[in-house]
Structure 1
C-alpha cells in the first residue's frame, strides 16, 4: 500500500479534496481560478501563494500537502476545519483574545451547553461536539470577563469544562499538542474556580492524554492520584460522587492494564465493581456515565489488554443488556468483544461483531484505530467477509498501512 509521501503533490491535493469538494468548490474556497486548481492537481504549477491558499481551504498544514507528514487517519476536510477552528478558540481565549462580536451567555446557558457537548461526545459525534465547543469557549470566556472580581468561581468552572471537552475531542482526533494545551488551560481554570472535583476530573483527562502519548507511568500516577483525591465515603456518597470516583478508578485500571500490571489493574477493577454495585444503576454526571454495567463492560477491554482472554469472554457471557450505556460506550464494548473473540480465534464471530458496529455507527468508527487492529488479528475467516469489513474501515487485509478512504475514489 502506498505511503503518503509516495503520492505526488497534485495527487495529495486531490485526495484531501475528496469526493465532497469539487475542483470548482476549491477554486471558490481559495479565490483562485479553476485552471489554477487543475494545474496544481496535475503537478503542472504550484506557486507558494497557491499552496498557502489550498492548505488554508482544506484545513491542513502545508507540510501535509507537500508529503512531509501524513494526514491524520480518516480525517475529512470538515474534520480538519473543525480542529483548526477549535485550536484557534482554545489559544485565543487562553490569551484573552475575544472577537468583537462575542456575547457573554448566562452561567445557566453555559451549563446547558456543557451538557449538550457531552451528549454529542458520548454519542460518538466528535466533529459536532468539537464544532460546538469553539463558540462555547468564546461565550464562556466572555462571561468570565463580565463577572466582577470575587464572583468568578462559577464562570471559571464552566470555562474549565469547555477546555476539558476541547481537550478530549483533540486527543481523540490525534491533535496531541492541542489536547495538551486545552487540558492545561482546563486545569488552570478549575484551580481558579477552587473546585476540587473539577481539578480531579481534569487530572483524569490529562492522564488520558498521557496514555495516548505513551507516557504510561505518568498516566498511571496521575490517574491514581485523581481517583484518591475524590474517593468518597460510601456510606454517605451521592450517586454523582460515586459516578466520578468509579470512572476514575476504572480508568486507572485501564492504564495499569496497558502497562501489563495485572495486580494493580485487578485492584482498581475491584474498586470499580464495588462502586458500580453500590450504585445499582447507571448514572450520568460530570460529563460521564458510570454504574454496574459500565464497570463490567470496561473490564472486558482491560482483561483483553492483559491477555486474559478467558476472563474477558466470561464477562461477555454475563452481560445481557447494554442499552443503558452511551452510544460510544456500547460501540467501544463491541470492539473489545470483537478483539476478545479474535484472540480466541473465533474469527467469524469477531467479524460479525465488528461489521455490525461499523455499519451501525460509521460516524464513530472512522475515528477509531481498533477496527484495523482487529482485522489484522483475524487470519482464518471468510476471505469475502474479511474484504468486506476491511473496505468499511479503509484498510487492506494483511497490511498495517492506512489509505484515506477518499483516495480509493480520488485516484
Structure 2
C-alpha cells in the first residue's frame, strides 16, 4: 500500500479533494479551474496558490507536500472544521478576538451550549466542531465584557466551550488540539472556582489519555475526577448523581481497558448503585446518566475484561435503549456486536453491526470498533462482510480494517 509521501503533490491534492469537483475547488479558492488543473498535473504553482488550496481543503501545506499524512477517513468538511476549531482554541487562549464580534448574553450562551452538546451526542462531530469555533469566540467575548466580580459564570461557559472543542478534536483524531483545548478548559474551570466543571474536565482529559494509550495516567485521573465529586447520597441532587455516576462509570471503563478487573468491578458496582438510586436517565453539563446508561456501559466493560458470557447476559436483559443519547445507543450496539463476535455468533454480530452502521453512518466514520468486529468475524459470511466493508470503507481482502480504523473505539 502506497504511503502518503509516495504520491506526487498533484495526486495528494486530488485525493484531498475527494468528491469535490475541480470547479467547486476553484470556486472555494477564487482561482481559475485552469489553475486547479495545473496544480493536479504537478505543474509549478505559487505559494499563494498553494495556501489558497490548503485553506479550501481544510488542511496544512505540509500535508499537501507529503511531509505529514492527513487523518485517515476524514472528509474535507472534517478537516475544515478542525482547522477552524484549532484557530479558535489558540486565538481565544491568546486573547485574539474578532474586532466586530458582539458578545451574546450568558443566557444565550447557555442555550448555545446545549445546542452544541445535542449535535455532539447525535454523533455529528464535524458539525459540532464547526459550531464550537464561533462559540469559543463568543464565549471569550462575553467574558471580556463581564464586569469585575461577575465573571464566574462566564468562565464556566468558556470552560464548557473548550471542553466541547476538546471532545470533538479527540474523536476526530486531532490529539494535539484535544490536549490544548482540554488544558484551556481546566484553566477556565479553575478561574470559575467550579468543582463540578473541574471534575468534568479531568474526566475529559482522562479520556484523551485513554485514546492516546496512556492507560495508567488515564486510570489515576478518572478515579480522582469521580472521587472529587462523590456526593452524599442521602441528599444528592439529580445533577450531582448524574455527574458522579458518569464519572465512576468512566473510571470502570478505563480500569477494564487497563485490565484491572478488581477496580473495574468495584467502580461498576458503584455505577449500578448510582443508577438504581436515580431511577431514570438524567442529563446535565453535557452528559447523561441513569440505570440504562450504567447497564449498557457494563456490556462493553465486561467485553474488555474478557467476560463475554456476562456481557451477553446483560445485553439480553436490556429491552429499551430509547432513553439513551443517539451516540450512546450506537456505542452499545458496537459493544453488543463485539460480544457476539467473541462468542462466535457471527451472523448475530454482523446483524447488530450492520444495523448500527446503516442507522448512524456519520457517527460510524469516527469509530474503530466496526473494523475490529469484522476482523474477528473473518470470512464467516463473505457476502455480508463485503456489504459491511463498503459501509466501513475498507476491503476485507486487503487487511485494511486495521489501517483504516486506527482510532480508539471509545
For Structure 1 versus Structure 2, the TM-score category normalised by the shorter chain is over 0.9
Structure-1 residue corresponding to 2:336: 337
Q: How does 1:144-223 map to 2 (within 5 A)?
A: 144-223=143-222
User: Distance between the aligned counterparts of 1:18 and 1:57, measured in 2?
Assistant: 13
Alpha-carbon displacement from aligned partner over 1:179-199 (angstroms, at most 9, x marks no partner): 111111110111101111111
Question: Aligned pair 1:278/2:277, yes or no?
Answer: yes
SS in 1 for 2:72: coil
SS in 1 for 2:288: strand
Structure-2 residue corresponding to 1:8: 8
| Cα shift at 1:402 | 7.2
Alpha-carbon displacement from aligned partner over 1:323-379 (angstroms, at most 9, x marks no partner): 100000000000111111111111111111111111111111111111111111111
Structure-2 residue corresponding to 1:409: none
User: Distance between the aligned counterparts of 2:96 and 2:291, measured in 1?
Assistant: 44
Question: If the length of structure 2 is used for normalisation, what is the TM-score?
Answer: 0.95
Unpaired runs of 5+ in structure 2? 406-410
User: Distance between the aligned counterparts of 1:404 and 1:376, measured in 2?
Assistant: 12
1:247 touches 1:290 (CA, 8 Å); kept in 2?
yes
1:190 touches 1:199 (CA, 8 Å); kept in 2?
yes
User: Distance between the aligned counterparts of 1:171 and 1:214, measured in 2?
Assistant: 13
Q: Which moved more, 1:26-35 or 1:214-223?
A: 26-35
| Cα shift at 1:403 | 8.2
Structure-2 residue corresponding to 1:136: 135
SS in 2 for 1:284: strand
Structure-1 residue corresponding to 2:408: none
Kindly tell me the number of residue pairs found equivalent between the two proteins.
Answer: 404
User: Distance between the aligned counterparts of 2:210 and 2:403, measured in 1?
Assistant: 25
1:73 touches 1:367 (CA, 8 Å); kept in 2?
no
Q: CA RMSD in A?
A: 1.6
Structure-2 residue corresponding to 1:297: 296
Distance 1:288 1:366, change over 3 A: same
Higher relative contact order (CA 8 A, sep 6+): 1
SS in 1 for 2:283: strand
Structure-2 residue corresponding to 1:58: 57
User: Distance between the aligned counterparts of 2:313 and 2:2, measured in 1?
Assistant: 41
User: Distance between the aligned counterparts of 1:80 and 1:39, measured in 2?
Assistant: 23
Unpaired runs of 5+ in structure 1? 406-411
User: Distance between the aligned counterparts of 1:148 and 1:101, measured in 2?
Assistant: 20
